[in-house]
Amino acid sequence: MSVPKLLKSAFTTGNYYQAMNTALKRLEGKYQMLHYPFQHKENESFEQAQVNLINYCVNFFPDLQNKSVLDLGCGNGTVSFYLAENFDTERIVGVDINANNVEIARAEKKKNGLSKVDFFEDDAQNLSQINDNSFDYILNIESAFHYPDKFKFLNELHRVLKPGGHFIIADIVHTRKNGSWFNSWKKKMNFNHWSLEDYMGAIDQKSLNLVSKNDVSPEVINGFKKYRNYLNDSKLKENPKDWFLKFFFMVNVKLNIYLLQKKRRYYVFYGRKSE
């Protein structure tokens, strides 16, 4: 991806994820999960820190054996592939509104021959291709903060989850109001953060039983702080294009650390639909 396209990525959501797919693929030599890192131990790779977050989330679920999983907001499909390869699930369906992400996911599925994973382009606020009561588990990782109407999202989550089914929502909540300029930028990036109180009230209204809420901001911040290790271990070369990719990665890391320390927190919500 050219330098102008990377710069343009700061102003629209679609361009941002296309840029992140390119940057992270250059970093590790293959497509990466698009979510934040989660540190368990010192000197972990960026890929392992991202896997840590998924493992933390799915460990809330009961046994995944022979269960159906909806990866809602699946990005480039890497999380769905990880679940398919490491857990004995019955089937996994990934849904994302970003056409470029779904295109990458389908191409990677074909390349890797993973038959029990499917991908659809669809809106989490209106899942037109998903039937009622059709999934045992729903995993929603760092996607909901893009949804303008999270009440519709929770309605859809309730609708497609089987009675007694389980859900995980990993999302960034806001803790402080922003200035007018920052709000304008958030609108362009389709950022629609809720507060913790908003989430608590809405989940309760939608007849979803919240079992736990966990603030994992310290682990995520610690994961981001190891970015120099990630860059040193990366496959990036000593040339102007890759130097700019390093800068792009560093700016994103620094911004996310600042926001999680000053304006936002990272929460993992785990709950169930009533029987």
Ordered domains of the chain (ranges, CATH): 3-273 (3.40.50.150)
Structure tokens at 55: 């493992």
* CA within 13 Å, CB half, 213: 16
Structure tokens at 47: 């890929």
Residue 48 burial (C-beta neighbours within 10 Å; 0-12, 13-18, 19+): middle
Separation between Cα atoms, residue 124 and residue 152, nearest integer Å = 8
**Mean pLDDT of successive 10-residue segments in the chain (275 residues)?**
47 61 71 86 86 96 95 95 94 94 93 90 95 97 92 95 97 77 53 88 86 96 83 64 74 89 95 92
Nearest alpha carbon to residue 168 among 68, 52, 59: 59
pLDDT value for 115: 85
Q: CA angle, 60 as apex, 126 and 173 as ends, to 5°? A: 55
pLDDT value for 14: 54
Q: How far is CA 264 from CA 148, 173, 176, 218, in A?
A: 18, 5, 7, 12
pLDDT value for 181: 46
**Helix or strand or coil: residue 102?**
helix
pLDDT value for 158: 96
Question: Between helices 13-28 and 46-58, what is the axis angle to 10°?
Answer: 120
Q: Model-level pTM?
A: 0.87
Counting DSSP H helices and E strands in the chain, the numbers are 11, 7
Residues 6+ apart with CB under 8 A from 224: 36, 37, 253, 256, 257, 260
**Helix or strand or coil: residue 140?**
strand
Structure tokens at 144: 């909901």
Eight-state DSSP code of residue 11: G
